[in-house]
Amino acid sequence: MGVRSALVPTPVKPVLDEAVDELEERASRAGVELRVDCDDAVELALRPRMLRVVARNLAENAIRYAGPGATFTLVVERTDGTVMLVGRDDGIGIDESELPRLFERFYRADRARASRGTGLGLAIVKHIVTQAGGAVEARGARGRGLEVRCELPAP
């Protein structure tokens, strides 16, 4: 029996709301607004703890790097056979040339090297998503924010 078929579907919105609530104070200090845009009925075949790690790491990335005045939104959309979990900010963005390396362990973009992050957050996101049978992709550009798209199989 495959791992995914053994999991009970997890309602997504309560887990995302909890992850965002836990980070609200840090986000406020960094001047970053956190939002969740998710239908109550959406479920994923992913353990709640793993979903929370993905949500927190996406939000923490925005808190560290998006810049004051940015808004970060976790958006969840269900399409045919997949659930798309997107972490999107409207912050300072990243050079397009750095997008392919964002999911490498310990990699941090030039502007992030002075921060206290480990360079593991997005690598962990990629690991969890791919282990669940999904795929990740980063989009963005300098001055246009960052969007991390996690495509996961629907339960």
Question: 83-98, pLDDT tens digit by residue?
Answer: 999 999 999 988 888 8
| E runs forming strands in the chain | 10-11, 33-37, 43-44, 71-79, 82-89, 135-140, 146-153
Count of beta carbons in the 10 Å neighbourhood of residue 29: 10
Task: Indicate the pTM of the whole model.
Answer: 0.88
Closest C-alpha among 54, 85, 87, 90 to residue 73:
87
Domain 3-153 CATH superfamily: Histidine kinase-like ATPase, C-terminal domain (3.30.565.10)
Domain boundaries, the chain: 3-153
Per residue in 39-50, pLDDT (tens digit) is 999 999 899 999
Cα-Cα-Cα-Cα dihedral sign, residues 72, 78, 80, 84: positive
